[in-house]
């Protein structure tokens, strides 16, 4: 059976969002956000970002690098959430934003069920659908 290789297409980019952004990563979904943090010199942020990274256990992959990269930017505020202490919720994320939902952009990457839940709650809270972006990191 032949393999089909496509992409990357560049559709998941923080440059598309509003100036106030929420980045939410679950597990291996941290990958695109790590890339964004590594490339902030080439693609700077337009405003503040709250970056939520949730994983199981205290030793989250890339946590030290994320802390170092975020420390170089006064616009990135990182929130590490150990899911063994309770799952991260969209309500927690919105509460930390301290901004009207209509002004937010949300970028999501992680398990499909987590992403669907966040999308639903964000839309219901008033984040415009056009401002909710997800990276498809799951098998379809």
Q: Is residue 41 part of a domain?
A: yes
CATH of the domain at 47: 3.40.50.80
Q: Which domain holds residue 117?
A: 16-134
Q: 21, 48 in Cβ contact below 8 A?
A: yes
pTM of the model: 0.90
Q: 134, 119 in Cβ contact below 8 A?
A: yes
Q: Alpha-carbon distance 39 to 54, whole Å?
A: 22
Q: How do residues 5-53 score in pLDDT, each as one tens digit?
A: 655 555 789 999 999 999 999 999 999 999 999 999 999 999 999 999 9
Query: Total domain count for the chain?
Result: 1
Q: Is residue 47 part of a domain?
A: yes
Q: Is residue 23 part of a domain?
A: yes
Q: Is residue 11 part of a domain?
A: no
Nearest 5°: the CA angle 42, 46, 50 is: 100
């Amino acid at each position: 059976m032949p393999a089909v290789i496509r992409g990357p297409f560049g559709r998941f980019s923080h440059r598309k969002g509003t100036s106030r952004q929420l980045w939410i990563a679950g597990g291996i979904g941290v990958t695109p956000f790590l890339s964004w943090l590594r490339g902030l010199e080439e693609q700077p942020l337009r405003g503040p970002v709250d970056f939520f990274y949730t994983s199981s256990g205290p030793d989250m992959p890339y946590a030290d690098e994320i802390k170092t990269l975020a420390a170089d930017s006064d616009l990135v505020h990182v929130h590490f959430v150990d899911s063994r202490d309770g799952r991260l919720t969209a309500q927690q994320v919105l509460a930390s934003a301290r901004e009207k939902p209509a002004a937010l952009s949300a970028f999501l990457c992680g398990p499909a069920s987590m992403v669907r839940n966040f999308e639903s709650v964000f839309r219901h809270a008033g984040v415009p659908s056009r401002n909710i972006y997800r990276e498809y990191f799951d098998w379809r």
